[in-house]
Amino acid sequence: MIRVVLPAHLRTLARVNGEVELDVDGEATQRSVLAAVEAAYPVLRGAIRDHVTQRRRPFVRFFACERDLSHDPPDAPLPDAVATGTEPFLIVGAMAGG
């Protein structure tokens, strides 16, 4: 079981409160976690990563265990603490003004 924290606007879209908990097929990677998020909440397709290229949207960041994982390869294993559900995988809207 993976714990995922969504940013406020995406929690509103997905109509969830707080963390979401998801079962992930296979190894816990950015790709498998995002696939699980999108399968559970189809409205989030395209909101975190591009529909076609599957690339992270430019102003979305991925944090976990006090590290910025945004630039890690999408198939790199996530930290054990995320894979075991000890720590959440954070999907974050990048800081920006306006």
Q: With CB under 8 A as the contact rule, which of the stretches 27-35, 45-53, 63-71, 75-83 interacts with other proteins?
A: 45-53
Site string for other proteins, 76-95 (x = CB under 8 A): -----------------xx-
20 lines the binding site for other proteins (CB under 8 A): no
Residue with smaller CB distance to other proteins, 26 or 58: 58
34 lines the binding site for other proteins (CB under 8 A): no
Question: Dihedral (C-alpha) 42, 44, 49, 52: value to the nearest 10 degrees?
Answer: 40
59 lines the binding site for other proteins (CB under 8 A): yes
H helix intervals, the chain: 8-14, 30-40, 80-83
